[in-house]
Structures are given as C-alpha cells and as structure tokens.
C-alpha cells in the first residue's frame, strides 16, 4: 500500500508541475485514500486548492499536514491561504512560525510584512521587509512592499527611494512602476504619476491596478472621458472587483455627460455585485431585545476621513452637541492615519475601532457584535470607503451621509440624508436609498478654529480697480463647460482677473495644461492668477484677494463655498439636476443668497457680470456674511445635532415598529 501510494503521489506531482490541475487533484486524492496520513499529499493538495481559488479547503488540508509533520514551508503555504482570505492575523502567525523554523527565508519575511501592513502594523511590517532585504539584498518584492508601507505611513520620499531601489534591480517590474505612480499622485506630481502608470502598462498590458490608477490620475486632472476609458478597461479585466466599479461611480457622479439614469444603472450594477459577495445578516440582537427606558441609541460611523478633511471639519461641531444621554457613538475607521482633528473627535465616541486589515465579513461581524442600531457611511464612493461592508447589513438601519452626493447603490443602505433643495422629491428616483429630509440643510459648517481663523478684509476691487473672480476647487471639477462660461465672463470684463488655487497646481505640467485650456477658451494670460496649495490659515487668508467665487458645475462646492462665505466672499453657483449639482444652491439658500443661484448658463454669466458691477453690494456682503452665517442654520450646530438625533430616533422607531 505505501509503495502504491508513493507511485501515485509521484505522478500527481508530475501533473501538478505540468499544470494539469484536474488530474493532479484526482491523484492526490487517490494517494490520501490509500494512505490517509500521507503528509506530502495533504500539503500539495492544499497548495493546489489555493492555486485554484479554494482557499478555505487549502487551509484545512495544510493544517492536517501540519498536524502530522510541521515544517517551515507548510507554515508559509498556509499563511498564503489565510492571506488570500484576508485573514491577516492568522497569516502572520503562520509566517512567524515558518520564520522560527527557517529564519533566513526572505520570501517569508516579506509575506509576514504584507500581512502586518494589512493590519495597519506598519512599524512591524517595515522591520520584516528590512529582514528580507538583509537576507537577500536583491529581492525586488521586498523593496516594493517596503515602499507601499512607507507610503501608507505618509513617508513619501522614503517610499520613492524604496521603489527606486527596486527598479534599479529590475527596471521592468510593473508593480513597482504602478506603486511609484501612487506616490507621485499623492505628492501632486500628476505628470510623473501618469508616466509611471503608462510604463507599468507597457510592461503588463493586463495590469488591472495600473488601469484603475491611471483612471484616478486622469480624473484628478479633469480628463473625465479618458479616465472612464481606463476604468472600463480595468473592469473588463476584473469584473467582480468592487473597488474598480466604485471608482467608476465616483467619476460618473462628477461627469457632466453622465445622466442621472445612467449613473443609477451603474450604481445598481455595483449594488448587485457587492450583494453577491456578501452574506447579509437577517437578525440583529439589538432589534429583538426588549426596549427599556434609558437605553442609548447606538450609532456607528464608518469613515476614513475623521481627520483634517472636509468630512472631519463638518462632523466635529455636530458630535460635540449630541445628547450623550440618548446617543452612544462608535467610530469604525477605514485608514490608519490620525492627526490633531482625530484626537479632538475621539473623546466624543464611546468606542474607536479600526477596521483596517479586516475583511468585509470580519468588519461586518464586529459591527454586528457591537449591536449597532444605526450605521452611517460618510464616504460613499470616495477614497477609503468600505461600502461592501454595508452590503452585509451589519446594522438594521443604514444611512449614507455627508461625504458623497449621489447614490451608493448598496442594496442594504436604507436612507440618504438630504434637504429639499439638494434633493427635490422629483429627483428621488436618482437614489436606491430612501431620502430622509432634514430641516433646511443636510450640512452644518464648522467655522475655522482659532489657530486658522482669519479676519474678513475689505473687497480687493476697491483698491485694485477691477474685479477678481476666484475658484479654489480641485482641478477635477474644472471641466471644459466650466471654462467655456468663465471665458465668456472674462472676455466681457477684460480688466477682471481669475484666481485659481488648488493642490493640483503644485504640478507644473498640470498647471501648464490648465493654462492651455484657459487660453483655448479665450481667457487672456494676464487675467490668470494660478496659486499652489498652501496651509489652511494661508488658504483662508487668500480669500482676501477675491471678490466673487465662480462655482464649478456639475460638481459644485461644499466646504469651499462655506469657507468663502465665512470670509465674506459670495459664490455664483449653477444649480443642476443632481444632488451634487445642487449643494451650492442649498448652502447659498441657507444664508439668504438665493439671488446668487443661476438656473442656466446664461443666468450664470449674467449674474457674474451684474454682481461684478455692483461693488457696493460686494462691500456690504463682505462686512455682513460672517454674521449672517453665524445666525443661520448652516452654523447652528446645536440645532443641527438635535435635528439629526431626532431623525435617528424616528428611523429607529420606524424600524422597530415594522
């Protein structure tokens, strides 16, 4: 019997090495039937299972082999199987066990680092990569993985150095070119970023991440059609990857040529995909428990932006004014970086938990175990979102709010928080979620703190003798239609100036490209003032150089509109048909500036010209807007928090009454 098993096992290995997985599987199984404790057959059948995507079966089989005769290679291979299932701690444990048996395995040190990085354990991950490099200074994947970890820590120059070391060893390593592009994009060096992705694709024409990331950098430059082409190419290669479809949806939400119906259809496809990848909960202990007086409503917030970010600014004043006797807040953070604003927010949360490195299933189970009653997403399809977790329905009530202005498409998302200007009832069909209307406004602006506070100055037109228009929006919002209308305004006012200021202008190539686009719209070079990104206090002070803000469309301003109003600078906005295109109108209405809302392109131009000629009105607004804001609902955090708390209680009442 052992001899026969050995012969069959040898044939199985030959088939496995030749790529005949089906025959190899049959022969491994025959070997085990003849000799149930054939350690190598169990091990290699586990490896084959992992190669064919059966990772749970792989872990089971290799665990059986480990019980018979543990070895470094078995621990490493079961680590691979756990890593493929996003079970990062289990993977790390087995990689560590493998290293204890074979300390100089540079491959295992690298894989251990990857498992640690996925859990947000960046320091330990970096140490593992350095161990790998010490064991083999020519091992390119270790340098590549080190670069990715340094980027996650925000150590961008060091990340570039690691990637350059990898490319010095292998100039044709596509993954490193792709990852280097990510660092350049984070630095705002969009031309270098684009070239890195193109280089990766020249090496590997089927590199999914490179197509996706190239789409991201094109989107950041406002080149929407080209971005969409790359997203679609990535999706054609990996149709079941939710991240790719999420990026596509963000791009479509900002694209002027995408109708509400087209967006809704794509969002539905995303919702169906995430549902197929989930096993939604159908029972919740918090729903079946007998109600009792004095029990707090448990609210969970999922976000990667609980830091210096527009979402962080908006939510800071609100959480301060929640009734702590009636609401208990839980934070589920989706990225590891924290800052001073994070630390200011944390005391208002009962629990602060990271879901970095947790699979969607594990994150959903954590939230379910915490008995969260209402779970709120603050990201939508923006960066660091974990929308697929919501497809698992870990809480009986789920809400989309704040960070995104279109439908998530998630089938388990019950509500979208809205106001009647941003989402009139006639547009409810744009959303898979049910609109829940808040009084007056869906947003509450948190005025700048003392360390960034700036005084309101007089209108610069009084000393300049001409009007300075401004736009501090991201380049991705400045599409050709926006430039066309700006061109009409500035040609009618040849003495006027246009001040453009954003992070993307840190990139000389992006700045040069924007100047070319402005010139093509007939805007004279001497009318253009382009400014790079600057610290928040300096950024706010820059409004002293602007008389009127020209809003972008269809992606209108949110935070920038509020900040401009705070600094006494009114905004002309063009109200569109979608929530994203109506947020400017909602904010202006809240402070009594409905006259600054245009309903078509002609009105937008006419209002810009008329208000530019009315310096007396600009002076009046300059001196009064901050006081107006302070009296309005848009900065009344106690009232907004009370309205929000009431909405949550009503949602919960409806859910428990059904």
Give dist(CA 491, CA 485) in Å, integer. 10
Region 444-466: what's the mean pLDDT?
A: 90
pLDDT above 70 for 311? yes
**Residue 4 — very low, low, confident or very high, per pLDDT cuts 50/70/90?**
confident
**Alpha-carbon distance 424 to 579, whole Å?**
9
Q: What are the angstrom distances between the C-alpha of 288 and each of 285, 291, 398, 651?
A: 5, 9, 17, 16
Residue 290 has pLDDT above 70, yes or no: no
The reply to whether the predicted model has a pTM over 0.85 is yes
- In degrees and rounded to multiples of 5, residue 276 shows phi and psi of -65, -25
Confidence of residue 288 (pLDDT cuts 50, 70, 90): confident
Q: How confident is the model at residue 93 (pLDDT cuts 50, 70, 90)?
A: very high
Q: Output the pLDDT for position 453.
A: 83
Within 13 A of 197's CA, how many CA atoms are on the CB side?
A: 24
Cβ atoms of 468 and 499 within 8 Å: the answer is yes
Assigned token pair, 101: 């048996």
Give the whole-angstrom CA distance, residue 530 versus residue 470: 10
pLDDT of 362 strictly over 60: yes
Yes or no: domain 295-444+638-657 corresponds to CATH 2.60.120.10? no
Question: What is the pLDDT at residue 452?
Answer: 78
**Structure tokens belonging to residue 182:** 């990510």
Among 76, 631, 647, 621, which Cα is nearest to 327's? Answer: 647
How far from 289 is each of 284, 292, 371, 652, CA to CA, in Å?
9, 9, 10, 13
How far is it, in rounded angstroms, from Cα 617 to Cα 619? Answer: 5
Percentage of the chain beyond pLDDT 90 is 92
Over residues 191-217, mean pLDDT: 97
pLDDT of amino acid 412: 96
The whole-number average pLDDT for the span 105-130 is 96
- Output the average pLDDT for the chain: 95
Rounded-to-integer distance, Cα 175 and Cα 12, Å: 33
Model pLDDT, residue 442: 95
Share of the chain above pLDDT 70, in %: 99
Q: What are 267's two structure tokens?
A: 């969002």
pLDDT at 295: 76
pLDDT computed for residue 373 by the predictor = 97
Summarize the confidence of residues 358-385 as an average pLDDT: 96
Span 252-278, mean pLDDT? Answer: 96
pLDDT category, 293, cuts 50, 70, 90? low
CA distances to 134, 521, 547 from 598, rounded to whole Å, are: 63, 21, 18
Q: Say if residue 73's pLDDT is above 70.
A: yes
Q: What is the pLDDT of residue 451?
A: 72
Count Cβ atoms within 10 A of the Cβ of residue 425 and give its class: 0-12 exposed, 13-18 middle, 19 or more buried.
Answer: exposed
- How much is the pLDDT for 289? 62
Q: Please state which architecture CATH assigns to domain 461-635.
A: 3-Layer(aba) Sandwich (3.40)
pLDDT bucket at 609, cuts 50 / 70 / 90: very high
pLDDT tens-digit map of 138-156: 999 999 999 999 999 999 9
Domain ranges of the chain: 295-444+638-657, 461-635
Segment 628-652, tens digit of pLDDT: 999 999 999 999 999 999 999 999 9
The confidence band for 294, taking pLDDT boundaries of 50, 70 and 90, is low
Q: How many other C-beta atoms can be found within 10 angstroms of the C-beta atom of residue 413?
A: 25
Q: Is 461-635 in the same CATH topology as 295-444+638-657?
A: yes
Listed ranges 1-5, 185-189, 563-567; the one with the highest mean pLDDT: 563-567
Q: Is residue 440 pLDDT above 90, yes or no? A: no
């Amino acid at each position: 019997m052992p001899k026969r098993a050995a012969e069959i096992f040898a044939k199985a290995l030959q088939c496995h090495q030749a790529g005949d997985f089906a025959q190899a599987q049959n022969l491994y199984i025959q070997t085990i039937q003849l000799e149930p404790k054939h350690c190598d057959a169990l091990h290699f059948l586990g490896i084959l299972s992992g190669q064919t995507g059966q990772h749970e079966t792989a872990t089971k089989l290799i665990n059986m082999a480990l019980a018979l005769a543990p070895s470094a290679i078995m621990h490493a291979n079961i680590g691979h199987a756990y890593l493929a299932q996003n079970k990062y701690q289990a993977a790390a444990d087995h990689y560590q066990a493998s290293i204890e048996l074979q300390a100089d395995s540079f491959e295992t040190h690298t894989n251990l680092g990857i498992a640690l990085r996925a859990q947000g354990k960046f320091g330990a991950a970096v140490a593992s990569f350095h161990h790998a490099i010490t064991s083999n200074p020519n091992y390119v994947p270790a340098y590549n993985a080190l670069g990715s970890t340094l980027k996650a820590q925000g150590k961008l120059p060091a990340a570039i150095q690691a990637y350059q070391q990898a490319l010095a060893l292998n100039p044709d390593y596509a993954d490193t070119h792709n990852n280097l592009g990510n660092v350049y994009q984070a630095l705002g060096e969009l031309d270098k970023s684009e070239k890195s992705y193109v280089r990766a694709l020249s090496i590997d024409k089927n590199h999914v991440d490179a197509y996706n990331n190239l789409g991201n950098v094109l989107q950041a430059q406002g080149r929407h059609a080209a971005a969409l082409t790359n997203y679609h190419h990535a999706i054609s290669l990996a149709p079941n990857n939710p991240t790719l479809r999420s990026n596509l949806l963000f791009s479509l939400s900002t694209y002027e040529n995408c109708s509400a119906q087209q967006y809704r259809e794509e969002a539905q496809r995303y919702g169906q995909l995430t549902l197929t990848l989930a096993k939604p909960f159908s029972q919740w202990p918090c729903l079946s428990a007998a109600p009792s007086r004095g029990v707090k409503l448990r609210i969970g917030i999922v976000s990667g932006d609980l830091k210096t970010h527009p979402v962080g600014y908006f939510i800071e004043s609100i959480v301060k004014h929640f009734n702590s006797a009636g609401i208990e807040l839980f934070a589920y953070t989706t990225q590891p970086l924290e800052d001073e604003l994070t630390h200011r927010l944390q005391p208002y949360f009962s629990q602060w938990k990271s879901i970095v490195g947790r699979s969607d299933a594990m994150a959903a189970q954590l939230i379910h175990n915490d008995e969260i009653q209402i779970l709120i997403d603050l990201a939508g399809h923006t960066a660091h979102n974990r929308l697929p977790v919501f497809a698992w329905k870990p809480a009986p009530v789920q809400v989309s709010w704040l960070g995104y202005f279109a439908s998530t498409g998630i089938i388990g998302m019950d509500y979208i928080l809205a106001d009647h200007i941003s989402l009139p009832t006639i547009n409810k069909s744009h959303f898979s979620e049910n609109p829940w209307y808040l009084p007056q406004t869906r947003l509450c602006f948190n005025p700048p703190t003392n360390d960034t506070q700036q005084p309101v100055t007089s209108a610069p037109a009084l000393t300049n003798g001409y009007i300075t228009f401004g736009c501090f929006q991201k380049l991705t919002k400045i599409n050709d239609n926006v430039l066309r209308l700006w061109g009409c305004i500035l040609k009618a006012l040849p003495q006027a100036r246009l001040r453009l200021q954003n992070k993307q202008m840190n990139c000389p190539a992006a700045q040069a490209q924007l100047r070319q686009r402005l010139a093509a719209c007939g805007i004279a070079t001497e009318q253009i003032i382009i400014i790079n990104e600057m610290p928040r206090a300096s950024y706010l002070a820059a409004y002293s150089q602007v008389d009127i803000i020209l809003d972008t469309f269809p992606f209108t301003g949110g935070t920038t509109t509020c900040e401009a109003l705070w600094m006494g600078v009114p905004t002309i906005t063009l109200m569109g048909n979608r929530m994203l295109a109506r947020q400017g109108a909602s904010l202006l209405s809240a402070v009594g500036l409905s006259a600054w809302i245009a309903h078509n392109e002609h009105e937008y131009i006419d209002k810009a010209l008329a208000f530019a000629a009315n310096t007396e009105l600009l002076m009046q607004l300059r001196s009064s807007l901050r006081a107006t804001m302070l009296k309005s609902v848009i900065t009344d955090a106690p009232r907004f928090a009370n309205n929000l708390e009431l909405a949550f209680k009503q949602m919960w009442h409806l859910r428990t009454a059904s």
